[in-house]
Chain A
Amino acid sequence: MLSTKGQVLERLLKGEFICRTTDEEGWRFLKNPANREQVDDYLSQLNRTVAMVGGSTDSDVFFCGYRQLDDEERKVIAQQFRDTCNALAPLAEWLVLVQEAGAQDAPLTEGTPVRLNELQTIIEDTPAFREQLARISHYRLFNSNSNGVDGQLKQVFKRLCDLGYLTRPNPDKQIYLATGKLDHLYEVIRFIDETESLDLEARAETASQSNLL
């Protein structure tokens, strides 16, 4: 049997994100700075380090990053960044759809449950949501060629599980939990917003106010 440290190392080296939802034990382990240092020491032999979403010490999502960046690593990162950018629009649209269909104030964050059946009923009953889902599911990221809500939704959820944005704690139930990787996604958008001075929040605020008027 692997120790917690071993499990944490294994998950990190597999490229997984560790958060409270996906691996509570490992998350607790990494929250302790002394343990984190041990893991970091081990990873340093492989030119890797424990990276945190948000980059601060009170972060709740951990993943594995490079320690030193040479040409090879830069190439990998550039490719990943392109992939992430291509995934941003479909993911953002999906998050907004889930939030609006659930009539919730908050978009999905780590630990929020999503009940597939409830979502499906709401989407099936609302033509606007149906259209939105059809558009989202045909993005290359989700790559669905189904025409029905059922097939589209299942494919989207399956892909999101594969990509690590959702987990399904009980395979017998259609209840999914959002993982810490979504928090990473928000941070990416926030970063782009800040560095390119897009002023997205103010834009959304003005738009919603003009809608109200």
Chain B
Amino acid sequence: MLSRVADSLYWLSRNVERAENNARLIAVKLTSRLENANPIEENNQNWYELIEIGGYEQIFNENYDRCDDRSVVEFLMFSMKNPNSILNAITVARENARAVREIIPNELWESINSFYLKLMSFSKSVWAMDEVNEFCETVKKESLFFQGIVEATMPRGDAYLFMDMGKHLERAEKTARILDVFYHKDLDQYQNKEIVEYHHWWSVLQSVSGHEAYIKMYRPLIKAKDVAEFFILNIDFPRSMIYCIQKVRNAFVALEEGEVEHYSESLAKELEYLANDLIDFTIEEVLYQDAHAFLQSFQRRCSTVGHYITRTYYLGEVAIP
């Protein structure tokens, strides 16, 4: 497979995943606003969380003088100044898909193309805040449809594996990021801390569609530590960090047919380190020092893995010696 093609497939699936994650976060924020026990305390500062999760503080502050629901939604969904807005992510995904149209199933191309056309027409319309929730649903559904086509129609060869690697690396990083931001939110300021805390973690679980699975496992008792365990170490939950990292590893092993060659050594090692941080540890051990430090280092490791993937398979502008 051409390395340019591998690159496009990898970023195609990363970008679709990224768009879906954005939509999930916005949707949860919208619902929690409606359901919150203390609507008055849900101020605009809470919308700013979404900017923090993405790490977009600087670009956002440069382009908007106000931080309210509309400006944040606009920024996360449609702003072309935000390199990771849903519209930008899907525009890039579509360009990537177009560049590999002859490799991917035609249905997959059509789905991403329709996705883009819908997004474009919504972004150009005069949208109202109460349409946003439904639109987030559309984005989620389009992404799930996209993944469904990948799962149901693509042969498990290199093309599939590069996409799978991209998707799960993106997901692992996003899960860590969401947890990181919410874990550190200071809830002591609230008078009815218990209720607020419940809603707080409930939203976090919803944002990864994990609320139902969580309840089956921990019953409806929501504690920060349990949520962290669920997010980080639950080997069965498809958005947990450990699950996603195992998937990236499996894809790598399949690509290399189980061998570790000279050129793939650094990637193999890095993936091993990353997994070793998680496997065979309890949540107490993982969070022993500091949750924030752990989650930060996990995100850095993910981006190192991304870097090694690029180097190993000559993605992007990497030259072949």
Say whether A associates with B: no
Q: Which residues of A contact B (CB under 8 A)?
A: none
User: A-contacting residues of B (Cβ < 8 Å)?
Assistant: none
